Structure formats: C-alpha cells, structure tokens
Amino acid sequence: MHKNFQLPRTTRTIIGPRQTSGPAEESLVAQLGVHHRSRVLKHLRELPGNDRWLRFGYAIGDDSLHNYVRGLHFSRDAVFGAFDDSAELLALGHLAFERSGPSSLADFGISVLPRARRRGLGLALLQRAAMHAANRGATQLVMTFLPGNTALAQLATRAKMDFIQDQVEPRAYLALPAPSAATLMEETFGELLAAIDLGFRVANAEQFAEAATSA
C-alpha cells in the first residue's frame, strides 16, 4: 500500500551547512514562473555532465538544455526552486502533469547543485511538489530515475515512497491525500510569502552586485 507523505507546513526550510560548525542557512522554496527561465537555465548549465545524465537520462548539451527550458510550460506544469540568501537557485524541481485534461498522476524530476547537497533541499522540494500535486487533484506522485541515481533513491526512501523495481527505469510512488480548503489556503498564503521573500532576495543580490561593480 502506498503511504501518505507528511506535507510541509511552510515554504522555508532551515538548511544546515556541510560543516559541523557555523550558523544555519535559511533556504527558500518558491514556485517559479516564466520570468525565471534564465535562472533555471543557469542552474541546469552548472550541473556536471554526470548529473545531467542522471537527471535527463542522456548526455544533454547546453543547446538541448536551452530548448528544454524554453519549452517549460509553467501554467500546465509546476516548477519549484530552492534559493539561498543571495537568491541563487541551488535546487530545481519540475512537476509535470498530463497534457490533456486532469490527471491522477504527477511526475517529478529534481536536480541539486553539487555544492548544495546534503542540506535537505531535495526533500524540501519534494514536500512542496507533493502539496501542489495534491491540491490539483493528483492522487500519486512518481519519480522515475536511472539505476545509478542513488541520491534520488535515498530521497525516495526518506520520503517513504513505494518502489517499483525495474532494471532500466526504477520508479518510486507517493500516495497523496485529498485536497481540502485548509491545504489550498495554506499553499496560496505560503506561496505569496515566498514570492515576496524571493523578490527581496533578488533585489538585495542585485544591489550588492551593483555596489561591487561600482566600487
């Protein structure tokens, strides 16, 4: 039997640094729109070759990445990002729905920059995607991955997802709860706060960059 995953209570998550000392960093998870295409492309281009292969299933080049980002359908699907204090896109999640009409199944793909791993970003994105998929009426979230993608398999295990073993494309399924007025309001209000927070982070980062170049 598929297990229901505990949905998040916030759009923020406290991400501890890889070092054992030092302050924790507050990472922001926010839903992205068409005006974030350049940030999405920058994030994907920073992925090493092996990470690109694990994410897309083949050795995708920069031109193909550009076409992928250009083809993202932000109104039909949902794209989420995890940002640091300087508004850098550290992790990206793409929640895909069927092209024709409502679907009970949502497909989730994820990528995390190497320097931002082991900080809980993948789980935070999965939680956010699960809430959105449930609120849109999906009953299951699925992650399909290559056999060598141990990081994604570990993420699915942490989320208590059910595995379908396959030598070519293993899959992990997560049963989603039915939406309610409370979950719809929680997502709407949380995303409003996240958008405001991200706007401040982007403005501060641009101001800092401008000050650095004019110094």
Q: Count the helix, strand and coil residues of the chain and give each as a percent rounded to the nearest 5.
A: 40, 20, 35
pLDDT digits (tens, 9 = 90+) for 157-182: 999 999 998 878 899 999 999 999 99
Domains of the chain: 12-214 (3.40.630.30)
Q: Give me the pLDDT at residue 213, please.
A: 77
Q: Could you tell me if 80 and 92 are in contact, meaning their C-beta atoms sit under 8 angstroms apart?
A: yes
Task: Mark 83-115 as b/e (b = at least 16 C-beta within 10 Å).
Answer: bbeebbbbbbbbbbbeeeeebeebbbbbbbbee
pLDDT digits (tens, 9 = 90+) for 91-124: 999 999 987 766 799 999 999 999 999 999 999 9
Enumerate residue ranges in the chain where pLDDT < 50. Answer: 1-3, 8-24
Q: Give me the pLDDT at residue 181, please.
A: 97
CA–CA distance, 103 with 107 (Å, rounded to integer): 10
Q: Give me the pLDDT at residue 167, please.
A: 79
